[in-house]
Structure 1
Amino acid sequence: ITKYQDRIPVEVVFQETDKLPAGFSCPEGREKPWGTNHAVLMGREVINEPFAVINADDFYGRDAFEVLARKLSSLEGQQGKYCMVGYRVGNTLSESGGVSRGVCSMDEHNLLTGVVERFKIERKGGVITFHDEEDREHTLAEDTPVSMNMWGFTPDYFDYSEELFVRFLQERGQELKSEYYIPYAVNDLIHTGRASVEVLDTTARWFGVTYPDDRDGVVAKLRALTAAGEYPEQLFQR
Structure 2
Amino acid sequence: INADDYYGHNAFFEIHDHLANAKNGEYAMTAYHLANTLSPNGTVSRGICETENGYLKKVTEVTKINPDGSFEQDGKLVKLPADTPVSMNLWGLTPDIFDVLEEEYKKFLATANLMKDEFFIPSVISKALEEGKATVRVFKNADKWYGITYREDLQEVKDAIGGYINDGFYKGI
Q: Indicate whether the TM-score tops 0.5.
A: yes
Aligned residue pairs, count: 172
Which residue of 2 is the match for residue 69 of structure 1?
A: 16
- Aligned pair partner of 1:147 in 71, 84, 87: 87
Please report the TM-score for the alignment, with normalisation by the length of structure 2: 0.83
Q: Classify 1:86/1:176 alpha carbon distance in 2 versus 1 (closer, same or farther; 3 Å).
A: closer
Identity %, equivalent residues: 35
Measured at CA, do residues 143 and 179 of structure 1 come closer, stay the same or move farther in structure 2, by a change above 3 Å? closer
Give the TM-score, by structure 1 length.
0.63
1:79 is aligned to 24
Q: Which residue of 2 aligns with 1:94?
A: 39
RMSD: 2.5
Q: Which has the higher contact order (CA 8 A, sep 6+)?
A: 2
**Counterparts of 2:125 and 2:44, CA distance in 1:** 23
More strand by share: 2
Which protein shows a greater Rg? 1
How far apart are the structure 2 equivalents of 1:219 and 1:188? 36
Question: Equivalent residue of 2:73, what SS?
Answer: coil
Unaligned ranges ≥5, structure 2: none
1:38-79 CA distance string (max 9 Å, x none): xxxxxxxxxxxxxxxx1111111112212212222231xx12
In structure 1, distance between residues paired with 2:2 and 2:51: 23
Contact 2:61 2:122 in 1 (8 A): no
User: What code does the residue aligned with 2:50 have?
Assistant: S
Change (3 A) 1:208 1:163: closer
Question: How far off its partner does 1:167 sit?
Answer: 4.2
| 1:104-143 mapped onto 2 (5 Å cutoff) | 104-123=49-68, 129-143=69-83
Deviations along 1:200-228, one digit per CA (max 9) or x if unpaired, are: 21133211122332222221111111122
Assess if the C-alpha contact under 8 Å between 1:67 and 1:202 holds in 2. Answer: no
Structure 1 distance, partners of 2:73, 2:56, is 25
Task: Assess if the C-alpha contact under 8 Å between 2:28 and 2:91 holds in 1.
Answer: yes
SS in 1 for 2:55: coil
What per-residue deviation string (whole Å, max 9, x for no partner) do you get for residues 78-129 of structure 1? 1211112111112112233443322111234432323231433323xxxxx3
Change over 3 Å in CA distance of 1:163–1:211 after alignment to 2 = closer
| Closer, same or farther: CA 206–109 of 1 in aligned 2, 3 Å | closer
Residue 190 (structure 1) aligned with residue 129 (structure 2):
yes
